[in-house]
Amino acid sequence: MDGCIVKIESLNHRGEGVGKVVSGPYEGLTVFVPRTVPGDVVHASFVEKKKSFARAEVKKILERGKGRVTEACPVASRCGGCSWQHIDYAIQLEWKTKMVEEAFHRIARIHDCVVYPCLPSEKTLEYRNKVEVPVAYKDGQVVAGFYETYTHNIVPSEDCPVEHLAVRDMIRRLLEQVRKRRYKIYDEKTRRGSVRHLVARVAPGTDEVMAVLVSTTRKLPGLEVMASELIESVNNLKSVILNINDRATNIVLGDRDYLLAGRPYIRDVLGFGDPEEGGLGRLSFRISPQSFYQVNSYQASNLYATALSWAELKPDDVVYDIYSGIGTISLFAALRSSFVIGIEEVEPAVKDAYKNAKDNRIENVTFEVGKAARVMPGVLAKYPKPDVVIMDPPRGGAERETLAAVSDAEPRSIVYVSCNPATLARDLAFLKEKGWRAVRCQPFDMFPMTSHVETVVLMCASSEAGKC
C-alpha cells in the first residue's frame, strides 16, 4: 500500500504511536504506527487505510524521538509480546499515567479523581512469573515463541528478557522434550496435531517451578518418562502437568489437567511486614495450572498493600471480595477485619482459596461459587452487609448486574482493582450514575515493556466522599 512521512505525537491505549502525515497526498491524516515514540519522524507504509485514519508499519526512522532507546531483545521489533521495549522507562510510566487519565476523562467523564503517577516496578526485566508460548513448525523445525504483532506467525524466542530466568529455562527444557520425542504439533488451521502450547510458572517467593504441556490428546508416548527426566534435571521443579485443550479456541488452557509428576500445585510466599504495624502481612499461596495469579509478584504486594490501605479496614468490618480468585486479597483482608466473603465463579479457584486459607490458618473467611450478581442476594441473606467491597474483575471488567448489586449493598467504600483502563472507566461511569464518586486512583506498572497498566481506585458514596 501507499507510503508516507508521519510525525508521531502521542501513544494510544494499544501502545501504538499516533501521528499525522506531514507530507504527500494524505497530509493531515491520522496514522497509528506500532514501535514508535512521540517525536519520531518515520517513513511508514500503510497496512490499512480508512477515510479518517490509517494503520502503518515503520519502514525507516528519519528522526528519533527523545524517548527512544535500544531494545533489550533482538526480536523485539517483530515479537508481539512486548510493544514498548524501545521506549525509555520513565516515558513508559508517564504515558501509562496519561492513559488512565484519558480513559477517565473521555469514557467516564470523570475529572475530579486524583490520579497519582504510575508506580514503577522493582524489576523491569525478568519479572514475569508465568509464560504461555505457542509451538509450531518453522522451516522444518519445532519452535516456540510469541506471535508477531497482529498475526499468528510465531517469532522464535528462547531467551525472552522479561521472563523470570527459571521460567525461561523451563520453556527451553519443555521444547527440548517435544523435539526429542517428535510429538506432532497442532495446526490451528487444519486442527491436526497434538502439542499446542508450553506453559511455565515460577513462585519467586519459594523458587518452586511448574511445567505444563498443553495438548489436544492424552495419548502422547513417553509422557511419564518425560516428566521424570524433567523432575530430575530441573532444580525446584515441583509439578509437571498435562493439560488437555481439544477445542477450536484461542484460549490456551483447557479444562482437564493430569498430573504427570510431583504435586498439582506450586507454593509461593507473598507480602511484607506485620499488618499490625502497617505492613501487608506475609502469606503462602497454592498456585495450580488454572489459577489466576499476578505475573509480577514483586509489584503485586505493592498493589495489594495500597488496595487494603485505602480500604481503611477496621477490626469489626465485613469485607466482600468479588472476583476473589485463589483468595489473595481475601486472605490479606482477613488479617485486619472481622470477616471476609470471597465470591468467585471459577470453582477450582475457590477450592484453592479454601486450601490457602487452611494453609495460613485463617478462619474468618468463606468463599461462594458463582457469578456475583446471582450469588449476592443469597450472600446478603446469609451474612451481614459489607462495610467494604473489593473488586478485581478480569480484563473485560465487571457485569452491570454485579455493579448494581454492589451499589445496592451500600458499603462504606468500594476498592476497584483493574488491568484495563477502558473497562474500568466504563464501570466507574456506571457507578457514578448510582451515586458513587471516584476519589483517587493509583496506577501500577505491573507489566513493564508493554502498554498495559494496573490500577487501584477508591470509590465512596458521593455524600461520603469527603470522609474517604
Angle between helices 165-180 and 223-233 (to 10 degrees): 140
SS3 of residue 44 by DSSP: strand
DSSP-derived secondary structure for 77-134: TTBSS-S-TTB-HHHHHHHHHHHHHHHIIIII---SSEEPPPBPPS-SSS-BSEEEEE
- Please check whether residue 133 is in contact with residue 147, taking contact to mean a CB–CB distance below 8 angstroms: no
Cβ count near 163 (within 10 Å) = 25
**Cα separation, 224 vs 219, whole angstroms:** 11
- Name the percent of the chain in helix, strand, coil, to the closest 5: 25, 35, 40
Whole-angstrom distance, CA of residue 196 vs CA of residue 356: 31
Map grid coordinates 509478584 to a residue: 297
CB atoms within 10 A of CB 304: 25
Neighbour-count burial for 206-243, b at 16+ CB within 10 Å, e otherwise: eebbbbbbbbbeeebeebeebbebbbeebeebbbbbbb
Q: Angle at which helices 400-408 and 421-433 pack, to 10 degrees?
A: 50
From 118, 419, 441, 460, the catalytic residue: 419
DSSP single-letter state for residue 194: S
What DSSP line would sit under 283-310, residue for residue? EEEEE-TT----S-HHHHHHHHHHHHHH
- Cell digits for 171? 520453556
Is residue 419 flagged as an active site residue?
yes
CB neighbour list of residue 125: distance below 8 Å, 6 or more residues apart: 72, 161, 162, 448, 449
Amino acid type, 152: H
Q: How would DSSP label each residue in 353-405?
A: HHHHHHHTT--SEEEEES-HHHHHHHHHHHSPPPSEEEE---TT---HHHHHH
Catalytic residues: 419
